[in-house]
Every structure is written in C-alpha cells, then in structure tokens.
Structure 1
C-alpha cells in the first residue's frame, strides 16, 4: 500500500524516472547499431554494405547469407583490424538470435564504423524463408 501512496504523491518524480530509463535504453540501443529489418538488409547489401556474421565457424559453414564475412564473436577484438578495409561502408552485424550483435556493434562503432544490426539475427532470416548458402 505504501508503494502506491508514494507513486500517487510523487507522480512527477516517478514520471521523470520512467522517462530517464526510456531515454537511456534508447541511447544504448542506438550506440550498438540501429536494428534493421530484413528488407532493409537486402537493400543495403545490394548497395555495397558488408554483412558481418559473428556466429561460430561451424554454424557459419552450416548456412550463411551470401557474401557474409565470418568473424566469430569470441575473436572480434583480435580481428577488428581486418575490418578497416570496410571503413567507408555500412557494416551489418548478424548473429544467431541477436544476443551478441549489440556488443559487436558497439565495438565497431567505437572504431568509427557505420554499424547496423540484423533484427532477429539469422533465425529471423530463416523464419522469413530467405536463402542461406553453405
């Protein structure tokens, strides 16, 4: 009961807290690369973007998007220098479900890359019945 009384009496404070949490989460999401839907991924790839697949090598070999570069998530900091050749291009980060793409996107963004994230990862790509190559 005290909680609801507090919220009723301090509605301005509670409202400000909610807005600050929303702004913080929005900024953190953007810092790691804006998530983009599949139709935008295909458009960007057709216009010269680079797809970085951060799944492990076995998953990548089992099926990946045409033209994707594979750098496993665990090796991204060691291999980041190899991505410098793609500095002027949009880099789309894809993983299995979207769990690692944000961290990789943030790392690449700090290096000055223009980063986007495949919303839903490769699982979403497959759910849309889009092709993967082996």
Structure 2
C-alpha cells in the first residue's frame, strides 16, 4: 500500500498541495502556541487571575460591541488603538492583565502586543466574552 503513495501523490497534485498546506498550517499554529509569551485560560481559570489584587481586565472589543455587556470593572481600549494608548495602562506592566474580546482571537493579538510592550503577566481569555457568558459568569450592562 505505502509503495503506491508516490504514484498517488504524482497523479493528484491538487490533493497533494492541499495536504502540504494543511500540514504546514497545523505546524505553524502549534509553533505559535508553543512559543507565545502569554497564557490562554478558560473563564474558570481566568477568574482566579482576575481576583488577584491589582489585576487589570482589558476589553479590546470595538465600541459597537459593548451593548451586550462587559466583564465587571474592565477597562475598554479597542484593539485598533491599543498600541497608541499603551501609555494609559503602563502602570500595570508588572501586574496581572487579563485581555478579552468577543471570541478570543483579537485579544490574542492584544496579548502579544502587551507582551511586546513589556507587560510581564498577560492572560488571554479563551473564547472571549462569549465563553464567559456561556460559563454563566456575570456581565455588567451599561
């Protein structure tokens, strides 16, 4: 069976290319996960970090996404302006920081930006506020 693999690969270049692309994406994703400098925690674990004294909870969603509520006393700085407003949260460089967005993707980008800016204890809320609400945790409505 395995001896026919080169023949199959040669006869199906599109499938071979797709296989190579998928394997490359998996390897890239795993490399990124293994080398990131921040933690990614589910809501139940993130609550423990948030309860530590002096923790900053940072909401990086856009203004129009805030209508559904926010986590407690979180501070809102949209991802698009985070680099420009990093000085606003400079005093939290040595404190725990929990970053969240709607689903966890943008907050992962924000977490990387914070680490690059010298923040030492950064956590990304896995699944964002959607996972938070699915876990039955409270949100504050404005």
TM-score (norm 2): 0.74
Q: Counterpart in 2 of 1:122? A: 129
Q: 4+ residue runs of structure 1 moved beyond 4 angstroms?
A: none
Q: Counterpart in 2 of 1:110? A: 116
Unaligned runs of 5+ in 1: 7-17
Q: Which among 33, 50, 62 is matched to residue 45 of structure 1? A: 50
Cα 1:131/1:3, change in 2 over 3 Å:
farther
Q: Counterpart in 1 of 2:6? A: 5
Secondary structure of 1:100's counterpart equals helix
> C-alpha distance in 2, partners of 1:93/1:111?
14
Aligned length: 122
Secondary structure of 1:64's counterpart equals coil
What is the root-mean-square deviation in Å for CA atoms of aligned residues?
2.7
| Deviation by residue 1:27-51 (Cα, 9 ceiling, x = unmatched) | 4235262210111111111112211
Q: 1:60, 1:70 within 8 Å by CA — same for their partners in 2?
A: no
Cα 1:32/1:76, change in 2 over 3 Å:
farther
TM-score (norm 1): 0.78
